[in-house]
Structure 1
């Protein structure tokens, strides 16, 4: 774990700094001395874990022996120091910021040990070279600010001491703690945004790729615990399950014990069906992941390596292991890493290319770095390891694997770079403010007190500037840098180099809902994946038309697929439940979407409506033809003998009966629904009452021929008219009551048929409807009975036998109508009623008038008075 602490110290003339260079030696590590220039301020720093990680935590032994007993060497963090040096160099060469002031720096190492961290901080605030806190002599160090550390725990250790002195601290890798109250009271500034945005971005990434079954591997430290406690509720809210939750064992740097320590965790990871694994930890946790990746690479399930997409948090960095051997980066091919947003800094690559270990630049780290990464030996080196060759100085940093060193500025180095500039701008603004105060006090016998560290705080909180990469740097409400995160895709190469491809961004300045963005087409996946992006689910997706059915005893992400019940749909994949369609829609065959229902009613345009219209018009014309024939031959004995006026009334009512279907074929509306049954009932009552009147007239006529009969006074037109009028008035009264109590109305039946909405006329009161039909049936039965009794009366033009047959046909039609009508719905119900109207009307016309038309038209010899008298 790398920790860089940079301190700004007030530099006063002293006996140690008489010359152009001020060389200072630190008892922990050698300090670069080229950058110590005479001036008003010096930047000093604390550098940790660049070259070593110690097996023992006894700092007294380190101080005495100055020996570095190294098990894992991490030279990559050396770039953090170079970013610090580069920033200081740029500021010193820039005349617009801190003019006439030269910055220097001190670098200290914490060795990932809190006792060493406290020791280094106490040394910072003490008189050099003596370790006497709060006692200063010879060179007075006026410490202004500190940069560090990389982890929150280390930063908090530093803040414990610096908070007493109110010395500003800029942490370049420390994210906010889990407790927000603690975050507000931590006395340091973070050069990174809140990692809550990072965790939200991880969840958005999982949602984007539909990864609902993911593994969670956390380091066994505070950073890992915070990640776990923050991520789990977010995953649950997005219906994402954790396939496993494993903590790494306590870190051990004994290489021979790595396999035994991590074997159990490896087995859980390898055997899991989850293709996506989230790894949370701090900056040093990558050393825990490396042996686990090596073990996973060797594991096989059914002969096929189980590849994983590793999702790494911003606290991690790809630190290469140079000793005792480099680890294979291929296991991380296609991994997705969240990093603090950074940009390319101009001239940094050129600055790195000018580094030469043979030049006298005072950088005590450079030769050691060169020896480790290039595995070569400098003359007069006391290193026990025997490298393969000697260092020539012609080695190029560009040739190193990215796991050892990167030529582009990493996210952590970018934070160090911005931290140095933030301090410089704050100090610049502080000095400007003091100069204005001094100008206002001119002429007074008073001097401003010496600049103290606590006076830098208000200017740090309000600092805002654009760095050389063109990006704005400023602190937010919680003293966090107002920036976002980059989403990078790792592309590895056989020589252990890799390239980070920025494939997405978490932009905190974007509008809500658009802060997360990713370019899936730019991503590179591991070649072993058969499908990209890979699936990471517990159960296959349920296709549209089915729903998820939970498996008992398992997490909600594990389920079976069950088809939707009848009448319900699932329009999307993986729906928890099927939904019903609205009343005017119905499910399609696959039950994947709702289709609008069509409105169904009997119309003229459809084939059935055309047939009915044709038959109605045909019978109407035939009836009209009969009426014309009877009118033309109205003076013939046959027409006169059968009550001519009553015959005309009957024919006129039959004409109206054949026109009734056209009312039924119109769209059901309020007026048409009111006219349908009323018109049908009244017109048919007139027709049946005319038939009844004809039958009664025939019977009375024969009864009146008897000597002394009193029936003669009833024989005549008045009786027939009275019968027709009385019967019609009774039916009209029934219809009037119907209209007054519960009239028919248009009704949409949305449930009877699946794909149709039936537009029909609701009869309002079914009882009144059957009263109308029952009354007509009563008249028809009476007519049938009377005609049946008079069917054998001797008369040449006796209609009784024809009326008997017509009434038999009429009653048969309407008796059959009732059960058929009740068993149908919609347009078929209307068609049944129309058919009954046409059939009964046609039966009446054919039975009564067809024989008469035959005699009138084809047998005129029988239509004579003599024939009538003779019979």
Structure 2
């Protein structure tokens, strides 16, 4: 019967006692009628349910009557997951494909798709929105940087001072002081000092193949010139006084020509090593993206530099440091020679100070290998160390002579000639004085040694030679 009546029931359509229509749908069901309430705070600060809409076959909602705890009039979204922002990927919740968590692409990753973050190429970093990659900026040591200003200032002062000393020596080339300190070796040593100052400008200049080539050549060459000359001089002094203890005959290879030949032989070893380096690994530039690859990609930088590793740098300077250490050993051996006869003591003080400078250089240079400021600290440390070692040599060996030449020319006179044996005897007696002073009264020791020195001097008074030609 329900089946037979269904067409008639579906066709019913009239208003009921409440004034609402009475109808049936195609399934014979009456449409639902619902009131929609929201629990709200009223003006009396009490909570109550308030009708905000109703349902009669469709939703009728008064949005303006709705209230939210946050005070925001906007309707809160009713979704499982909100859309992800730019630079975030969707991480789908397992078992609920319509829900996900948003994860930001961190570090050097960018948003490659809706669900994937990928790593940028090594020489690139994510852009601001992390939707792609952009090249990492490339930097170098700039001339106006504080890390460059200080070394350049020191080098300029050193170059001016060295040039002044060279000009002074050239102008007073034939005076006794210039001749006594060995003119030829002095010019070699001053050339090395000048190169030590000049290398600062190559270390700060913009790297290219030419600059990198000159860096390899001159980085250790200035020190090599300086310490090869000083080593030759200290070795010569040592051999002269050692030979003098055995006979009055001067040792071989102490002439200026021989000294120059020995010095340039030592320098040629450095140049040979540099040429081998050129053949094995030709100079070129590179951009090091690892040196300043910080955790924050915004601060990442690529460093433009010459392809010179720390090991190659130490090898380049290693030979010069070996010459420096050997020279220091000879300076110690000749420390007992009276300072009135030669430059042994000033050379000794120079080498002791230089060793301290380079001992301080090593921990600073290698201790900053992992620092983000590595390029600046190491370049500044290296250039300042070279300049300081050159300044020590210039100040201790040549500034006193220049001072006498310019301000006290009355002292720039030939010294009294002494016999070769007398010079050596004086050095030997001074050494013995030091050894015996702990065992016998000073007066007795000095008297005995002076008498011995006078005896030896008078026995060889016919074989006078100029000390400036034989002992220096």
TM-score of the superposition, structure 1-length normalised? 0.40
For 1:865, the equivalent position in structure 2 comes to: 414
> How many aligned positions are there?
386
Q: Deviations over 1:579-605 (max 9, x none)?
A: 434434445899788675321211223
Secondary structure at the counterpart of residue 798 of structure 1? coil
Change over 3 Å in CA distance of 1:675–1:622 after alignment to 2: same
Residues in 1 aligned to 2:102 and 2:281: alpha-carbon distance in whole angstroms: 51
Kept in 2, the 8 Å contact 1:638–1:797? The answer is no
Residues in 2 aligned to 1:304 and 1:844: alpha-carbon distance in whole angstroms: 96
Deviation at 1:622, TM superposition (A): 0.7
Could you tell me which of 404, 409, 417 is aligned with 1:855?
A: 404
Is 2:312 the partner of 1:779? no
Residues in 2 aligned to 1:831 and 1:767: alpha-carbon distance in whole angstroms: 18
Deviation at 1:536, TM superposition (A): 4.7
Secondary structure at the counterpart of residue 752 of structure 1? strand
Change over 3 Å in CA distance of 1:797–1:632 after alignment to 2: farther
Secondary structure at the counterpart of residue 759 of structure 1? strand
Deviation at 1:742, TM superposition (A): 2.1
For 1:253, the equivalent position in structure 2 comes to: 28
For 1:770, the equivalent position in structure 2 comes to: 314
Change over 3 Å in CA distance of 1:756–1:328 after alignment to 2: same
Structure 2 stretches lacking a partner, 5+ long: 15-24, 41-48, 67-71, 295-299, 424-472
Change over 3 Å in CA distance of 1:705–1:254 after alignment to 2: closer
Kept in 2, the 8 Å contact 1:681–1:773? The answer is yes
Deviation at 1:251, TM superposition (A): 5.7
Is 2:29 the partner of 1:298? no
Residues in 2 aligned to 1:602 and 1:867: alpha-carbon distance in whole angstroms: 55
Change over 3 Å in CA distance of 1:751–1:73 after alignment to 2: farther
Is 2:401 the partner of 1:832? no
Residues in 2 aligned to 1:840 and 1:690: alpha-carbon distance in whole angstroms: 14
Secondary structure at the counterpart of residue 739 of structure 1? helix
Deviation at 1:711, TM superposition (A): 3.3
For 1:558, the equivalent position in structure 2 comes to: 99
Q: Deviations over 1:510-565 (max 9, x none)?
A: xxxxxxxxxxxxxxx95568666974531345555655444455x24434445554
Deviation at 1:769, TM superposition (A): 3.8
Deviation at 1:645, TM superposition (A): 1.2
RMSD: 3.9
For 2:253, the equivalent position in structure 1 comes to: 714
**Matched ranges for 1:499-514 at <5 A:** none
Structure with the higher fraction of residues in helix conformation: 2
Is 2:270 the partner of 1:731? yes
Deviation at 1:781, TM superposition (A): 1.0
Residues in 1 aligned to 2:12 and 2:208: alpha-carbon distance in whole angstroms: 90
Residues in 2 aligned to 1:733 and 1:304: alpha-carbon distance in whole angstroms: 97
Is 2:145 the partner of 1:601? no
For 1:740, the equivalent position in structure 2 comes to: 279
For 2:206, the equivalent position in structure 1 comes to: 667
For 1:793, the equivalent position in structure 2 comes to: 337
Residues in 2 aligned to 1:701 and 1:305: alpha-carbon distance in whole angstroms: 117
Kept in 2, the 8 Å contact 1:700–1:714? The answer is no
Change over 3 Å in CA distance of 1:251–1:833 after alignment to 2: farther
For 1:538, the equivalent position in structure 2 comes to: 80
Deviation at 1:743, TM superposition (A): 3.4
Secondary structure at the counterpart of residue 743 of structure 1? coil
Is 2:353 the partner of 1:809? yes
**Matched ranges for 1:644-655 at <5 A:** 644-655=183-194
Answer with 1 or 2: which has the greater Rg.
1
Kept in 2, the 8 Å contact 1:537–1:557? The answer is no
Deviation at 1:779, TM superposition (A): 0.7
Change over 3 Å in CA distance of 1:630–1:868 after alignment to 2: farther
Is 2:295 the partner of 1:756? no
Secondary structure at the counterpart of residue 138 of structure 2? strand
Change over 3 Å in CA distance of 1:300–1:679 after alignment to 2: same
For 1:626, the equivalent position in structure 2 comes to: 165
TM-score of the superposition, structure 2-length normalised? 0.69
Is 2:154 the partner of 1:615? yes
Deviation at 1:799, TM superposition (A): 1.4
Is 2:249 the partner of 1:691? no
Kept in 2, the 8 Å contact 1:55–1:69? The answer is no
Residues in 2 aligned to 1:307 and 1:801: alpha-carbon distance in whole angstroms: 106
For 1:40, the equivalent position in structure 2 comes to: none
Residues in 2 aligned to 1:719 and 1:304: alpha-carbon distance in whole angstroms: 114
Change over 3 Å in CA distance of 1:768–1:748 after alignment to 2: closer
Kept in 2, the 8 Å contact 1:641–1:797? The answer is no
Q: Deviations over 1:675-708 (max 9, x none)?
A: 2122212232122111112212333444565684
